[in-house]
Amino acid sequence: MTHIKFNHSPLPKSFGGLVEDILNGGLNKYVKDDFLTNDYFTTHPPVNIVETPEAFLLDVVAPGFSKEDFKISADEKAITISAEKKTETKNEGDKQVRREFNFKSFKRSFTISEQVDAGKINAKYDNGILKVTLGKKENKQDAPKEIVVE
C-alpha cells in the first residue's frame, strides 16, 4: 500500500509562508481570479458617487461602449445601470474565414435616497465615462414664523 501525502492547506502555517506564497506568484489563492483578468472592469465598472446640495452625481467608467448601449432605469428605491455591446469582426483571406465575436456587458444597481426626484435624472456619456445626475427634491420649508411670547 502506498501512502500519498498532500500538503495543500488553504492558508500558510506562518506569516513567512504567506509572504513567500505572494512573492512566488501565489496571489491567485487569496484574490478572486476574476479581479486579475482584463475583463474585470468591463463586468464590474468602478463608480464614483458624489453628493452636492442639488444632486447626487454618479460617474461610471465604461470605455468601449456607445451611448446607445446603455439602459438606465429607476424607481423610488433603486437605479439600475446596464450596458450590452455585441460586435462581430470578419476577416476574409484565401480560402479562410475568421470571425471573432466580442460581447461585453455589465449591470449595477444602487439604492437611492427618498431625496431623489425621478423627474430630475439625466445621463451623458463622454470619453468612456457615463455621468448620471440624480437631482434632489426641493425641500420647501415654510419661512420661519416668529412667535411672540405673551
Residue 69 has φ and ψ, to the nearest 5°, of -80, -15
Q: Domains of the chain, with CATH numbers?
A: 13-44 (no CATH), 45-136 (2.60.40.790)
Q: With bands split at pLDDT 50, 70 and 90, how would you rate the model's confidence at 1? A: low
How far are the Cα atoms of 29, 84, 147 from residue 114, in angstroms, in the given order? 42, 29, 32
Residue that the C-alpha cell 449595477 belongs to: 108
pLDDT at 54: 92
Residue 73 β-bridge partners: 80
Range picked from 8-12, 23-27, 85-89 for highest mean pLDDT: 85-89
Flag whether pLDDT at 79 surpasses 60.
yes
Q: Per-residue DSSP letters for 12-40?
A: -SSHHHHHHHHHTTGGGGTS-GGGGSTTH
68-77 tens-digit pLDDT: 999 999 988 8
pTM of the prediction?
Answer: 0.60
Chain centre to alpha carbon of residue 37: 15
Q: What does the pLDDT look like over 119-135, one tens digit per residue?
A: 899 999 999 999 999 99
- HSE at residue 141, side-chain half, CA atoms within 13 A, is 4
| 21-48 burial code (b ≥16 CB/10 A, e <16) | beeeeeeeeeeeeeeeeeeeebeebeee
